[in-house]
Amino acid sequence: MYWRDVAYLCKETETLDKLGRPQKSGFSKREIICNVKGVKRTEFYQAQAAGYKPEISVEVKEYEYEKERYLEFEDVMYKIIRSYPVSAESVELVCEGLAAGNG
């Protein structure tokens, strides 16, 4: 593996409104180096059966993944729907695209 793709692991940030209630205000991002892969056929069909629409699979170093729920790649925001180890040092993240307003 070449580890030549750049992506961003993202966490939702919250601020308080005038009444002190938390509200989502965007994302904080951390740049990582990764390998972008296609979604495997069997995984694609299993996810479809469960109501998910996986679009990309990304391999990241295990020590960089801190259980973030979102990933940005090439200016597209994705929701991480599954993560699993692929080796002693790597984790694969299966992601589906976010529609505007979803999260």
Q: Indicate whether 89 belongs to any domain.
A: yes
Per-residue model confidence as pLDDT tens digits over 51-85: 777 889 999 999 999 999 999 999 999 999 989 99
Q: Give the structural domain span for 85.
A: 5-97
Determine the pLDDT at residue 19: 87
Residues 6+ apart with CB under 8 A from 40: 57
At residue 103, does pLDDT exceed 60?
A: no
Determine the pLDDT at residue 23: 85
Instruction: Please compute the mean of the pLDDT values over residues 47-53 and round it to a whole number.
Output: 69
Q: Indicate whether 51 belongs to any domain.
A: yes
Q: Single out the residue of 65, 53, 58 nearest to residue 9, CA to CA.
A: 65
Instruction: Please compute the mean of the pLDDT values over residues 90-102 and round it to a whole number.
Output: 81
For the entire predicted model, the pTM comes to 0.81
Instruction: Name the domain count of the chain.
Output: 1
The two tokens of residue 78 are 């994705």
Other beta carbons less than 10 A from residue 75's beta carbon: 6
Q: Indicate whether 102 belongs to any domain.
A: no
Can you give the CATH number for the domain in which 13 is found? 2.40.10.270
Q: Residue 5 forms beta bridges with which residues?
A: 34
